[in-house]
Amino acid sequence: AQKITQTQPGMFVQEKEAVTLDCTYDTSDQSYGLFWYKQPSSGEMIFLIYQGSYDEQNATEGRYSLNFQKARKSANLVISASQLGDSAMYFCAPNGGATNKLIFGTGTLLAVQP
């Protein structure tokens, strides 16, 4: 079974600074996707960014980018120019299995301070 590790249960960052949220995973799949979701205090799950295992370029989506290191099986999320609205729980979720279900890590709670 896949194991997803997010080693930072909580992080603080100053507004306008960049922050990196760590994620490592353990998979035997040759082809897979890596997703990051944001869960604000209101509870909904918001898709942020995706990286394919065969993509040569690191994914970017606005202020979000992925530092993808396939050999190390890590896919760290970088948020640039943090905003107060970025305060939320962030989940790393590779997909796997026959139906590409998402397998979530334990999450990192990010608090952006003014």
Query: Among residues 17 and 52, whose Cβ is nearest to another protein?
Result: 52
Least spacing, CB of residue 93 vs another protein, in Å: 8
Query: Among residues 15 and 23, whose Cβ is nearest to another protein?
Result: 23
Least spacing, CB of residue 100 vs another protein, in Å: 5
d(CA 24, CA 70): 10
| Binding residues for another protein (CB under 8 A) | 31, 33, 35, 37, 43-47, 50, 52, 91, 93, 95, 97-107
Q: Say which DSSP state 88 is in.
A: E
Q: What is the DSSP string of 24-60?
A: EEE---SS-EEEEEEE-TT---EEEEEEETT-SSPPE
